[in-house]
Structure 1
């Protein structure tokens, strides 16, 4: 049976997906700064031209990977404020997602020195903070709990705490107190008290 020929759009999507898969691998092995467009193209089985026909630059290719990651994370947030799931996600960030998170930190540093990348990255995280803020506001309203600060401030505080704790745990995992993420998260969300349910 003859294989069905892909349409132009299907072929383009397939090429893009293969390039993203190869980019994730090459970035993981060489870091953002160390990886080259040629390395990524070779790993995907394409020419550099295929990369540039789908992405404007190595920077945009990496941002597309961040888009994928944020889309998955934001979809999970749609399930509601389940702190046990959030703790499990943090543990995955330290294991399964560790390389991507370290690469993201590397890209943060790159973006701070490159205005175009900084603006693109900041815009993506603004969207994520807004989604998280709406979820938090909804949670407090439905649970009839007082908010310790505005939902927007809470979103920033939670994200910043998670990022900082991730870095500290990567640096010195044995020094981090057990269940530090959950302890800090509950303190930010509920102050000294705790809700009846997570």
Structure 2
């Protein structure tokens, strides 16, 4: 199988993938197909046959890369969260104030939802799957914790960088921001006209302003 170049150029004649590259390529194509199928059909409505067919492979290829539909679903969840968390983190890191970081992070998140509306549907399916099945709930919760951990780090680093004292622990503030982002995105998807593009950024700035103060001017609450 020819190597696919990341810059979109055609591979050099005769260049072929190694076994490891071919396996990685197959895995990514299966994850891409699973993303589309799970977003449109849900976890329970999707089948391994449909996913394999959408990727252009047999079910044997799917089972040689994943233990089954659940393993594929969890791997997809981990990939999506890592990719989008990294994009948000990179955008926020370039800002020079808490307000700018709040607005920048919110803008990136809302742009993602507008660009890829199936992304929110996919995250909703992840959530529903974990809530419905107590046996898999810890695995789903661990993957959602990836995003909260990123937010916690961003909050704590920003507080340190800008010499702020948080009035509630960074971990709890991360939960609130995660819930805010999820809720506003759902409203935007259902009724775009009701949600101004800058709404999340403005609310997030207010939240962060109320949850922090200049160091030395108050006592931090919480454990």
Into which bin does the TM-score normalised by the smaller protein fall?
0.7 to 0.9
How high is the TM-score relative to the length of structure 1? 0.85
Query: How much has 1:177 moved relative to structure 2?
Result: 5.4
- Structure 2 portions without partners, runs of 5+: 1-11, 96-100, 215-223
Residue 123 of structure 2 corresponds to residue 112 of structure 1: no
Number of matched pairs: 195
How far is 1:42 from its partner? Answer: 1.0
Is the contact made by 1:136 and 1:151 (CA closer than 8 Å) also made in structure 2?
yes
Deviates more, 1:37-46 or 1:64-73: 64-73
- Secondary structure at the aligned position of 1:115 is classed as coil
Which stretch shows the higher mean deviation, 145-154 or 172-181?
A: 172-181
Consecutive unaligned residues of structure 1, counting only runs of 5 or more, are: none
Kept in 2: contact 1:27–1:35 (CA 8 A): yes
The 5 Å alignment of 1:140-159 reads 140-159=159-178
Instruction: Specify which of 78, 86, 94 is matched with residue 67 of structure 1.
Output: 78
Deviation at 1:145, TM superposition (A): 2.1
Name the CA distance, whole Å, in 2 between partners of 1:2 and 1:172: 50
Are 2:25 and 1:14 equivalent residues in the alignment?
yes
Q: TM-score, normalised by structure 2?
A: 0.77
Rate the CA distance shift 1:40–1:144 in 2: closer, same or farther, 3 A: same
**Are 1:54 and 2:73 matched, yes or no?**
no
CA–CA separation in structure 2 for the residues paired with 1:193 and 1:112 = 33
| Contact 2:167–2:211 under 8 Å retained in 1 | no
Q: Distance in 2 between matches of 1:42 and 1:21?
A: 12
Aligned pairs for 1:20-35 (under 5 A) are 20-35=31-46
Alpha carbon RMSD of aligned pairs, Å? 2.5
Q: In structure 2, what is the Cα distance between the partners aligned to 1:6 and 1:73?
A: 28
Give the 3-state SS of the residue equivalent to 1:169 in structure 2. helix
Residues 114-193 of structure 1 mapped to structure 2, 5 A cutoff: 114-176=133-195, 179-191=198-210
Q: 1:178 to 1:73 in 2, by over 3 A?
A: closer
Aligned partners of 2:113 and 2:119 also within 8 Å: no
Task: Name which of 104, 108, 119 aligns with 1:100.
Answer: 119
Distance (Å, rounded) in 2 between the aligned partners of 1:8 and 1:117:
32
Contact 1:111 1:117 in 2 (8 A): yes
Check conservation: 2:110, 2:185, Cα contact below 8 A: no
